[in-house]
Amino acid sequence: MSTLEIKDLHVSVTTEDGPKEILKGVTLTIKDGETHAIMGPNGSGKSTLAYSIAGHPKYEVTGGSVTLDGEDVLAMSVDERARAGLFLAMQYPVEVPGVSVANFLRTAKTAIDGEAPKLRTWVKDVNTALGANGLDASFSQRSVNEGFSGGEKKRHEIAQLNLLQPKVAVLDETDSGLDIDALKVVSEGVNTFAQGGDKGVLLITHYTRILRYIKPDFVHVFVAGKVAESGGAELAEQLEAEGYDKYVAAAR
Ligand code: ADP
Ligand code: MG
Ligand code: MG
């Protein structure tokens, strides 16, 4: 059992004009076995939510709480969050020159499990995970994300997800910049991860098209720094037809 609980989360960033509140009271509970989609217009604060859960230093939490199985996530270092079972795939994955994919993944796995994976099976597992996401074995020797295309970065993240087997995955615009083939592969990777039934997924997206391949249990409309409405998968269909206009107007 695992539950990620976000309660009345307020987050600010520092701008030239002083602090600016971006998240204005986000409340959301993701239980294991559940896939939640957060959908909202550009600039509504979706990535800010992901960064805040990840512990990015630029985002200052001014109120509310985030807990994983009752543990205070906001008090944890970035490493501790990963060890606790959180996985965060960012909209713009960072490049890590000089660190190979194979070493990066092994270090991450070791940190999470508390012991290094056995080398022989690990190399096989890495290549299988890369292959399942349409990346050939040569990627394991390349520097993390360096020179990767947008699609290759996303494929690599989903390979990571399935290797590391976190409790809860937060995926920020995993679908952006993907062609239809890559979208299918990446969606299958997320579905494979979610299949176990004991995993939580928070899928952040701007477009409804990924929801043709990943079926969310819950859909949340995110506007102006908070959840404006929550519903089932049918809410995504309504958004596809009607867009965000009415929610944006109501938030003004
Ligand atoms: P989304 O992911 O929904 O498109 P973001 O979370 O990226 O939205 O951004 C929400 C708002 O916060 C935007 O107006 C953006 O310009 C602002 N913002 C985000 N990060 C920063 C930052 N580091 N400094 C200043 N403004 C920021
Ligand atoms: Mg955006
Ligand atoms: Mg974003």
DSSP for 75-122, written as a single string: GS-HHHHHHHTEEEE-SSPPPEEEEEHHHHHHHHHHHHHSSPPPHHHH
**How many CB atoms lie under 10 A from the CB of residue 115?**
8
Per-residue pLDDT for 33 more than 90? yes
Of 36-50, 99-113, 172-186, where does the model show the most confidence? 36-50
Q: Can you tell me the mean pLDDT for 8-20? A: 96
Query: Rounded to whole angstroms, what are the CA distances from 188 to 44, 111, 149, 198?
Result: 27, 26, 19, 17
In contact, 225 and 44? CB cutoff 8 Å? yes
pLDDT tens for 137-149 read: 999 999 999 999 9
The answer, yes or no, to whether any atom of ligand 1 lies below 6 A from the CB of 196, is no
Q: Which residues contact 172 (CB under 8 A, 6 or more apart)?
A: 46, 47, 50, 88, 89, 90, 91, 204
Read off φ and ψ for residue 182, nearest 5 degrees. Answer: -65, -40
Q: Which residue is closest in CA terms to ligand 1's atom 22?
A: 13
- C-beta 93 within 6 A of ligand 1: no
CA 103 to chain centre: 22
Distance (Å, rounded) from C-alpha 166 to C-alpha 67?
Answer: 15
Q: Which pLDDT belongs to residue 141? A: 94
Q: Give every CB contact of residue 28 below 8 A, 6+ residues apart in sequence.
A: 5, 6, 36, 38, 202, 220, 227
Task: For residue 210, give the nearest of 243, 241, 159, 176 by alpha carbon.
Answer: 176
Cβ(225) – ligand 1 distance below 6 Å:
no
C-beta of 187 in contact with ligand 1 (< 6 A): no
CA of 93 to the centre of ligand 2 (A): 14
Q: Which CATH architecture has domain 3-91+166-251?
A: 3-Layer(aba) Sandwich (3.40)
CA of 49 to the centre of ligand 2 (A): 12
- State the distance from the centre of ligand 3 to the C-alpha of 147, rounded, in angstroms: 22
Q: ipTM value of the model? A: 0.95
Mutate to test the pocket of ligand 1, among 12, 23, 48 (most ligand atoms within 8 A of CB): 48
Q: Domain ranges in the chain?
A: 3-91+166-251
Q: Can you tell me the mean pLDDT for 67-87?
A: 94
Reported as a single tens digit per residue, the pLDDT across 232-247 is 999 999 999 999 999 9
